[in-house]
Amino acid sequence: MNPTDLIHKFQSTLPAIQEWIDKILAEHRPNAVSVSSLSSLRLSRVFPHDLLARVQVVVVTGKVPFPPLTQMGLTEFTQLENMLKSGITYKDTFFVSHLYQTESLYFHELVHIIQWERLGFYNFLLAYGVGLIQFGYRDCPLERMAYSLQSGFDRGVFPENIINSIQQRTDAIWNAVSSMLPKT
């Protein structure tokens, strides 16, 4: 399937993905705690307290939940679906495997939280999906931003106004994505 057709197919599956995410969030809500209740001193130096207080984390002992994309007809994403993941973010909540409880991973997922807040539910998924289709997982722009900031965090280097910086980079990614979409 060519990338344009695949983007259309992905777009038409988005409502089902959104529904699945809402269901998963509702199911796990009782096990969610605020990041501020778990987070380290280093994270609280980087991110404002109100963000850490409102973002939820769910620590899972099995696999982190991922939409059944193959079942939804997106067989092009089967490899990604089966990939072992240490963490994943949906809206205001991220899931982490109990095997990978590091502040570096928390940092990475918090970058995605700010991206989600900036773009909103539908546009985040759309930008993420288009990035995957164009560049693959590791080079998907929203992912590349998270990995690059994470490697800075690991070295103790990060932008001064990190939220603002993530928002600006997210806007630039969105501009590139929306220019590729068919005009409605």
Taking the complex as a whole, the smallest distance from the CB of residue 162 to Zn ion amounts, in Å, to 16
Asked whether position 166 contacts Zn ion by CB under 5 A, the answer is no
Q: Which stretch binds Zn ion (CB under 5 A): 40-48, 75-83, 144-152, 172-180?
A: 144-152
Q: According to the binding rule CB under 5 A, does residue 146 interact with Zn ion?
A: yes
Cα-Cα-Cα-Cα dihedral sign, residues 48, 49, 53, 56 = positive
CB of 147 to Zn ion, least distance (A): 7
Site string for Zn ion, 86-125 (x = CB under 5 A): ----------------------------------------
DSSP states of 89-153 as a string?
Answer: EETTEEEEEGGG--HHHHHHHHHHHHHHHHH-HHHHHHHHHHHHHHH-TTTSHHHHHHHHHHHHH
C-alpha distances in Å from residue 133, one per residue of 4, 62, 115:
9, 27, 19
Of 1 and 83, CB closest to Zn ion? 83
Contact yes or no for 173/58 (Cβ under 8 A):
no
What is the smallest separation between the CB atom of 113 and Zn ion, expressed in angstroms? 11
Instruction: Identify which of residues 30 and 141 has a Cβ nearer to Zn ion in the complex.
Output: 141
What does the block give as tokens for 113? 């939280």
Closest approach of Zn ion to the CB of residue 97, in Å: 13
Residues near Zn ion (CB under 5 A): 143, 146
